[in-house]
């Protein structure tokens, strides 16, 4: 069961990276990568469709992974997005569940998180 979870996390990260940096790939790379990651086609199905070997598809997907990860290491757009998403989620949780708590403390935390977000923008 653990390998399945890891595989799902890997697919999610591949999807996020593609969403942020996919336009920087060539058209052929985008087509193959979309089929593998987004459309969940097998290597064999893509190979047959593209007229290349299964190994060629495998190598292309790995090369795209490295390329997209390289963009993220340089630009950190996905990291910033996930951080922002976490902060907004925390604000939403605080604002929905503040009844019965000290309103001033909740509002102070919301203001703090909001300030962090604004500084990062």
* Higher-confidence position of 112 and 45: 45
Q: Which residue has the tokens 């990260």?
A: 13
Instruction: Calculate mean pLDDT across residues 22-27.
Output: 97
Cα-flanking dihedrals φ and ψ of residue 86, to 5°? -65, -40
User: Helix or strand or coil: residue 25?
Assistant: coil
At residue 99, the pLDDT reads 66
Per-residue confidence band for 101, with pLDDT thresholds at 50, 70 and 90: low
Q: Is the pLDDT of residue 2 over 80?
A: no
At residue 118, the pLDDT reads 82
Q: How many whole angstroms separate alpha carbon 100 and alpha carbon 82?
A: 30
Q: Is the pLDDT of residue 5 over 60?
A: no
Q: How many whole angstroms separate alpha carbon 60 and alpha carbon 28?
A: 10
- Tell whether the torsion through CA atoms of 93, 96, 102 and 107 is positive or negative: positive
Range name among 19-28, 39-48, 73-82, 90-99 with the lowest pLDDT average: 90-99
């Amino acid at each position: 069961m653990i390998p399945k979870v890891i595989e799902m996390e890997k697919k999610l990260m591949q999807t996020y990276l593609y969403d942020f940096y996919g336009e920087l790939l060539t058209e052929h790379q985008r087509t193959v990568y979309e089929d593998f990651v987004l459309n969940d086609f097998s290597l064999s199905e893509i190979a047959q469709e593209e007229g290349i070997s299964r190994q060629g598809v495998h190598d292309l997907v790995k090369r795209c992974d490295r390329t997209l990860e390289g963009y993220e290491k340089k630009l950190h757009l996905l990291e910033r997005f996930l951080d922002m998403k976490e902060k907004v989620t925390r604000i939403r949780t605080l604002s929905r569940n503040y009844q019965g708590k000290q309103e001033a403390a909740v509002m102070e935390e919301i203001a703090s998180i909001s300030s962090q977000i604004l500084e990062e923008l």
